[in-house]
Amino acid sequence: MTEITRLDENIYRIRHWTGREPRESLLSRYGIINLKPGGKEPEPVSSGDSASAVIEHGYELCFSLGAGGDGGFDIRLPLECGERLYGLGDESRDCIEKHGRIAVIKQENVRSYGPIPYLMSSRGWAVLVNCTYAHTFDIAASEPDLLRIYSDKGALDIIVFCGDDLQSALYLAGKVTGRPVMLPKGAYGLTFVLNEQTTARTLLDDALRFKDRGIPCDVLGLEPSWMSKHYDASTEKKWNSDRFYIPYWMPENYYGSWSFIWNLHKMGYYLSLWLCCSYDLFWKEEDDALKDETGSDPDAATADPHLAQWYRMDKVTKPGEAWFDHLKKFVDNGAEAFKLDGSDQMIPFPDRLWAGRYRDDEIRNLYPAVYAKQMKEGFEAHTGRRAMIYTCGVYPGTQKYAATWAGDTGSGEKVLLSLMNHAMCGHSNTSFDMGMEKSSIHFGFLAPWSQHLGWDNWLYPWYCGDELEECYRFYANLRSSLFPYLYSMAHKANVTSLPVLRPLSLVYQHTGRYDGVFNEYMLGDALLAAAHSCHIILPEEDEWYDFFTGIKHKGDREFDYTPQHPQCGALFVRAGSIVVTQGPAPNLRDYRPEKLHIHVYPEKDAEFELYEDDYSTYGYEKGEFAVTRISLNDGEVSVSPREGGFPGMPKEFDYEIILHNEDGTTVIK
User: What is the domain-level CATH number for residue 334?
Assistant: 3.20.20.80
Q: What is the pLDDT of residue 320?
A: 86
Dist. CA 643–CA 659, nearest whole Å: 25
Q: Would the pLDDT of 485 be above 90?
A: yes
Q: Are 200 and 244 spatial neighbours (Cβ–Cβ below 8 Å)?
A: yes
Average pLDDT, integer, range 113-119: 96
From the number of C-beta atoms within 10 Å of its C-beta (0-12, 13-18, 19+), residue 126 rates as buried
Q: Which of 16-20, 277-281, 582-586 has the lowest mean pLDDT?
A: 16-20
Tell me which of 405, 438, 461 is where a domain ends: 405
pLDDT of residue 305: 47
What's residue 294's pLDDT? 58
* CA pair distance 15, 28, nearest whole angstrom: 14
Q: Per residue in 141-165, pLDDT tens?
A: 999 999 999 999 999 999 999 999 9
Give the pairing type, strands 52-56 and 219-222: unpaired
Residues 381 and 237 in one domain: yes
Q: How confident is the model at residue 61 (pLDDT cuts 50, 70, 90)?
A: very high
Same domain, 297 and 398: yes
- Host domain of residue 256: 189-405
Q: Percentage of the chain with pLDDT > 70?
A: 97
Domain boundary among 387, 405, 423: 405
In CATH, what number is assigned to the domain containing residue 136? 2.60.40.1760
Confidence of residue 132 (pLDDT cuts 50, 70, 90): very high
| Cβ contact 433:406 at 8 Å | yes
Amino acid (one-letter) located at 669: K
For residues 259-265, average pLDDT: 98
Angle among Cα 327, 278, 365 to the nearest 5 degrees reads 115
**In this structure, are 622 and 528 located in the same domain?**
yes
Rounded CA Rg of the chain: 25
Q: Residue 415 falls within a domain, yes or no? A: no
Task: Give the integer Cα–Cα distance in Å for 303 and 322.
Answer: 18
Whether 171 and 237 map to the same domain: the answer is no
pTM: 0.96
Cβ atoms of 390 and 628 closer than 8 Å? no
Domain presence at residue 441: no
Confidence of residue 510 (pLDDT cuts 50, 70, 90): very high
Residue 343 is predicted with a pLDDT of 83
Mean pLDDT across the stretch 188-202? 98
Does residue 612 contact residue 591 with C-beta atoms inside 8 Å? no
pLDDT of residue 306: 47
Are 489 and 608 in contact by the 8 Å Cβ rule? The answer is: no
Q: Is the pLDDT of residue 6 over 70?
A: yes
Contact 476, 192 (CB under 8 A): no
Q: Tell me how far the alpha carbon of residue 499 is from its chain's centroid.
A: 9
Q: Are residues 278 and 157 in the same domain?
A: no
455 located within any domain: no
The predicted model gives 228-257 an average pLDDT of 95
pLDDT at 295 > cutoff 80: no
> Are 261 and 334 contacting, i.e. CB atoms less than 8 angstroms apart?
yes
Residue 307 predicted with pLDDT over 60:
no
How far apart are alpha carbons 317 and 413 in whole angstroms?
Answer: 39
Q: pLDDT confidence of 71, banded at 50, 70, 90?
A: confident
CA 112/CA 578 separation, integer angstroms? 37
| pLDDT for position 19 | 87
Return the pLDDT at 420: 98
Pick from 41, 38, 55: which is nearest to 2 by CA?
A: 55
Cβ–Cβ under 8 Å, residues 85 and 346: no
Residue 422 placed within a domain: no
Q: Distances from the Cα of 254 to the Cαs of 219, 259, 264, 321, in angstroms?
A: 21, 8, 15, 22
Judgement on whether residues 609 and 488 belong to the same structural domain of the protein: yes
The verdict on 514 and 626 lying in the same domain is yes
- 303 confidence band (pLDDT: 50, 70, 90): very low
Q: Using one digit for the tens of pLDDT, what is the confidence trace for 543-559?
A: 999 999 999 999 999 99
One-letter amino acid identity for 198? T
Residues 273 and 230 in one domain: yes
- Based on the structure, what is the number of domains in the chain? 3
Q: Do both 498 and 571 map to the same domain?
A: yes
In a domain, residue 375? The reply is: yes
487 within a domain of the structure (yes/no): yes
User: What's the angle, vertex CA 142, arms to CA 141 and CA 146, rounded to 5?
Assistant: 75
Taking residues 338-354, report their average pLDDT. 91
Contacts of 627 (CB under 8 A, 6+ apart): 609, 610, 611, 612, 642, 643, 644
Same domain as 198, residue 326: yes
Q: Which of 379, 405, 431 is the last residue of a domain?
A: 405
In a shared domain, residues 255 and 367: yes
- First-to-last alpha carbon distance for the chain, in angstroms, is 68
Residues 6+ apart with CB under 8 A from 327: 275, 335, 338, 378
The answer to whether residue 417 sits within a structural domain is no
241 and 162 part of one domain: no
Does the pLDDT value for residue 334 go beyond 90?
Answer: yes
**pLDDT above 70 for 363:** yes
* For residue 641, cis peptide bond before it (omega within 30 degrees of 0): no
Per-residue confidence (pLDDT) for residue 313, from 0 to 100: 74
Q: Which of 482, 403, 492, 8 is nearest to 183 (CA)?
A: 403
CATH number at residue 536: 2.60.40.1180
Report the mean per-residue pLDDT for the chain. 94
Nearest to 423 by CA among 170, 147, 94, 109: 170
Tell me what pLDDT residue 314 has.
84
Nearest CA to 34 out of 10, 16, 7, 14 is that of: 7
DSSP 96-146: SS-TTEEEEE--BTTTBSEEEEEEEETTSEEEEE---S-EEEEESSSSTTE
Q: Angle at the Cα of 337 (from 183 to 416), degrees rounded to 5? A: 60
Q: Which residue has the higher pLDDT, 191 or 634?
A: 191
